[in-house]
Amino acid sequence: MTAETPLDWAANPNPALGESTRSLDAILPVGALEAARSFHRQIPGFRYSPFKGLSGLAAMLGLGGLWVKDEAERLRLSSFKVLGGSFAIYKYLEQRLGLDAGELTFAELTSAETRERLGEITFATATDGNHGRGVAWAASKLGQRCVVYVHSKTASARVRSIESHGARVEVVDGTYDDAVRQVDEHAKQYGWQVISDTSWPGYEEIPTWIMQGYSTLFSEAQEQMAAQGLTKPSHVFIQAGVGALAASCVSFFHRLFGRDAPKCVVVEPSSAACLLESARAGDGQPHNFPGDLDTIMAGLACGDPSPIAWDLLWDRADVFAAVPDYVAAKGMRVFGVPLDGDPVVISGESGAVTLGALMFVMETRGGAELKEDLGLGPDSQVLLVNSEGNTDPDYFRRVVWEGVNAVPEEHRYRPAGS
């Protein structure tokens, strides 16, 4: 039996690629980045997440540099997701209180006086783990209630981490997309406020705020890269579920550099490749990826793209790629057992998939065409985001210790001349 190919990809077929600013203005209007960073800097204990250079691996792959923005250490929550959820809640409450942008400080936001003015609010969301934990954390800081809907395959460790912040967890039969639909229905029934990172018709403002919140990590990464004497990354490999993180990434770099923005490769699981499916449809519309979305990359197991994120990616992303689970597992092992001199990166399945994808692009015949199309080589400075740490310890050990999801024999690395 032939193993699943490690890389399936398509260049963005949009003939007007990068010409329109409509979707860019919708996601990251002027001033939005500054507002998000100003808010995040007020959070007690907030600091830049680490920026790690893997020079040994870069040399092995034939790249000029390989850089990892390590979100596993963000506010001790093991994920970037808190950046979006917290900023969206802040913007929602600012609006609810009738205040001008930036008028409400974090200290005022979490004060007893503000809570009395707001009354009791129940925030609700659907998640595969990390987004729900971020929303639960933010709600707990405000002294408000939180309900988080997860699908039935969500790891128990991720459920416990959400509950540790005082949220109530509801388990839904089906997929992440089923959980999204269920929480929306129940929120309307019970008067809850949904804080979702995906959008649907009539629900677009909060997901936009979430993507603006994510832009903080890319702004940090750009500063950290400049501190290395580099103008910008030449390429970014970014993971995607509904597409919110990827859209935030692309919008940030295109807002800053315009046509000189880094080339962006959007990576998702083969069994939940809704963005690649949408790109191949070629009509500019988001399309559903059918099936049970069964993948170890729990944070990326989404069958429906976020429409507002898709609009931006259709306008600006360069390549859409999908990979099987063993690619993410390889990335986890390489991060965790680095070459001599490179730093260790503790990465979960969704966090490591872009490293695995990059390695297959650089090292295999199947990736040669994409490598050439992207111009990857000795002058390339590639940026990755480790979007999550060890959020499911049991499965992490199975992958890293026991070799679960091993690379099939026919796709294993072969040193030159061997």
pLDDT given for residue 418 in this prediction: 54
| Cβ pair 224, 51 in contact under 8 A | yes
pTM assigned to the model: 0.97
Q: Is residue 413 pLDDT above 90, yes or no? A: no
Residue 154's Cβ-count burial label (10 Å; 0-12, 13-18, 19+) is: buried
Mean local confidence (pLDDT), 288-311: 96
Indicate whether 200 belongs to any domain: no
Q: Is residue 334 pLDDT above 90, yes or no? A: yes
206 vs 378: CA distance, rounded Å: 41
- Cβ neighbors of 60 (< 8 A, separation 6 or more) are 339
Residues 123 and 225 in one domain: no
Tell me the average pLDDT of the chain. Answer: 96
Residues 375 and 302 in one domain: yes
113 vs 300: CA distance, rounded Å: 39
pLDDT given for residue 416 in this prediction: 65
* Angle, helix 156-163 to helix 130-142, in steps of 10 degrees: 10
Indicate whether 418 belongs to any domain: no
Mean local confidence (pLDDT), 88-93: 96
Angstrom CA distances, 395 to 1, 195, 208, 399, stand at 26, 28, 32, 6
The catalytic residue positions are: 81, 128
18 vs 36: CA distance, rounded Å: 25
Query: Whole domain around residue 407: which residue ranges?
Result: 8-79+205-411
Q: Which of 194, 228, 251 is the last residue of a domain?
A: 194
86 vs 92: CA distance, rounded Å: 10
Q: What is the pLDDT of residues 4-37, one digit of tens each?
A: 899 999 999 999 999 999 999 999 999 999 999 9
pLDDT given for residue 2 in this prediction: 65
pLDDT given for residue 417 in this prediction: 55
Instruction: List the alpha helices (DSSP H) in 194-318.
Output: 205-226, 244-257, 274-281, 307-316
Q: What is the pLDDT of residues 56-82, one digit of tens each?
A: 999 999 999 999 999 999 999 999 999
| Cβ pair 346, 72 in contact under 8 A | yes
Question: For residue 14, what is the domain's CATH number?
Answer: 3.40.50.1100
Q: Is 227 helix (H, G, I), strand (E, B) or coil?
A: coil
Mean local confidence (pLDDT), 281-309: 96
Q: What is the pLDDT of residues 345-382, one digit of tens each?
A: 999 999 999 999 999 999 998 899 999 999 999 999 99
Mean local confidence (pLDDT), 203-208: 98
Residues 251 and 385 in one domain: yes
Q: Which of 175, 194, 213 is the last residue of a domain?
A: 194
Indicate whether 417 belongs to any domain: no
Counting residues of the chain whose pLDDT is more than 70, the rounded percentage is 99
CA quadruple 241, 140, 252, 49: dihedral sign: negative
For 233, the token pair is 């990354």
Q: What is the largest CA-CA distance in the chain?
A: 71
User: Considering its fold, how many domains does the chain have in total?
Assistant: 2
Residues 74 and 100 in one domain: no
Q: Is 5 helix (H, G, I), strand (E, B) or coil?
A: coil
Q: Which of 135, 169, 194 is the last residue of a domain?
A: 194
Confidence of residue 84 (pLDDT cuts 50, 70, 90): very high
| Cβ pair 219, 35 in contact under 8 A | no
Residues 93 and 69 in one domain: no
Q: What is the pLDDT of residues 228-261, one digit of tens each?
A: 999 999 999 999 999 999 999 999 999 999 999 9
